[in-house]
Structure 1
Amino acid sequence: MTWRKWGLGLLTLSYPVVIYLGLQHFSPRVMALALVALALLRAGTSRQAGWRAMAVLAAGLALIVLASDHALPLKLYPVLVNVAMLGVFGWSLRHPPSLVERMARLREPNLPPSGVAYTRRVTQAWCVFFICNGAVAAVTALAASDRVWALYNGAIAYGLIGAMFAGEWLVRQRVMARHAENRHD
């Protein structure tokens, strides 16, 4: 991964904190430039159509802010990210192999049918996660203070993503151990 992609990842992760701190000192119009910059960087560094579409939608939010000088569209960006991720994971359920299966096959090309079923369930779990996380992100954008919005979208949501990864890893270890036991019986 190039330094540009690492930088873009860091910018994306820090977006809620940057917006929160920026809104303390600058107008929403000025902070919309941060979203425009992020959108341009995302569009310029990605070859995937989905990320480019996401960049266009982010730029659209920024244009709304530039026209209205309201901060709400800036705060809706995390909702947009969750909707996009739900779209990617959900699309892969409708058009197999699922996204998680594709990732699993990078490590285990001959994934057994039980592994395919498991990765499908994990993909479904991520879809539920993105629905719930996106809903909370929307509530914080619409009804919470800027501080609560930044705390949830800039810290708590990342902790939940980490917990989801860790929980899935633990479940996978148990499933693999059970599958290994069944093969030996």
Structure 2
Amino acid sequence: MTLALVPLLRTLGVAALAVAWAVGAHVASASGEPSRWGAALAIAPLALALGLALWRLPYRWLAALAAGAALALLAWTWPALTSEVALLYFVQHVGVNLLLAAFFGRTLSGPGESLITKLARQVHGGVLSERQVAYTRWVTKAWTVFFLSLAVVSTALFLLAPVAVWSVFANLLGAPLIGAMFVGEYLWRLRCLPAHERSTFADAVRAWKNHGSDLKK
């Protein structure tokens, strides 16, 4: 195996895990029955994120105290979590989309630049035309509205439709809808920006990675 295949295999592995998680989440949610494994599957990403955050804490005693408190809270709420699995996935789905909407939308207020504009500056060496600035700000607005719309539709389906219908939308269609949004934005970019002002998908991925590294500092 060559080293060049390692990133590809890693990406395929992550994608396979994401698909398996989504299918498992749908099965657990759509059944409408209490499920210990379904609750554990829903909590797994949150537990991983919390574990990584605690690992970065400079004081081990504080990390251990926070981990103990989290485990105590989980033990206390476990019976309720296993009996309301669909509600657990619903709260998670809506919460994530609202956080993403806030992540994009907060950069649209105030004198600073929008999130996509900042990423575009990284790709283009810090220099953007007025047309690029306007376009990237519009894209930031579009992603904000997109994530807000997912949260609104998810809420409406959860309250008004059978839980299986909501689960298909929330657990199975989430990733394809995001993919469709990327494709639609790229096609619109081809229409709005000349070739020398466009960025490629690889450029966008590198900019996201650099932005994520900056946030961790």
Indicate if the aligned counterparts of 1:28 and 1:66 stay in contact, CA closer than 8 A.
no
The equivalent residue for 1:22 is: 28
Indicate if the aligned counterparts of 1:14 and 1:154 stay in contact, CA closer than 8 A.
no
Deviations along 1:24-72, whole A, 9 cap, x unmatched?
A: 4962444222222211112334699xxxxxxxxxxx8997564362231
Question: Map of 1:9-158 to 2, 5 A cutoff?
Answer: 11=17, 14-23=20-29, 24=31, 27-45=34-52, 66-67=79-80, 69-71=83-85, 72-94=87-109, 96-109=112-125, 110-158=127-175
Higher relative contact order (CA 8 A, sep 6+): 2
Counterpart-to-counterpart distance in 2, 1:179 and 1:2: 28
TM-score (norm 2): 0.62
Counterpart-to-counterpart distance in 2, 1:102 and 1:6: 29
Structure 1 residues 140 and 26, CA, compared in 2 at 3 Å: closer, same or farther? same
Deviations along 1:78-132, whole A, 9 cap, x unmatched?
A: 1111101001001121253211112222321211222112111111111111111
Partner of 2:51, secondary structure, is: helix
Which AA in structure 2 matches 1:67?
A
TM-score (norm 1): 0.71
Structure 2 residues without counterparts, runs of 5 or longer: 1-6, 57-72, 198-217
Which AA in structure 2 matches 1:88?
F
Structure 1 residues 117 and 134, CA, compared in 2 at 3 Å: closer, same or farther? same
Counterpart-to-counterpart distance in 2, 1:149 and 1:160: 14
CA RMSD of aligned residues (A): 3.6
Counterpart-to-counterpart distance in 2, 1:62 and 1:158: 31
Structure 1 residues 2 and 167, CA, compared in 2 at 3 Å: closer, same or farther? closer
Report sequence identity in percent: 31
Counterpart-to-counterpart distance in 2, 1:30 and 1:129: 31
Q: How many residues align?
A: 169
Indicate if the aligned counterparts of 1:65 and 1:74 stay in contact, CA closer than 8 A.
no
Counterpart-to-counterpart distance in 1, 2:158 and 2:130: 42
Larger Rg belongs to: 2
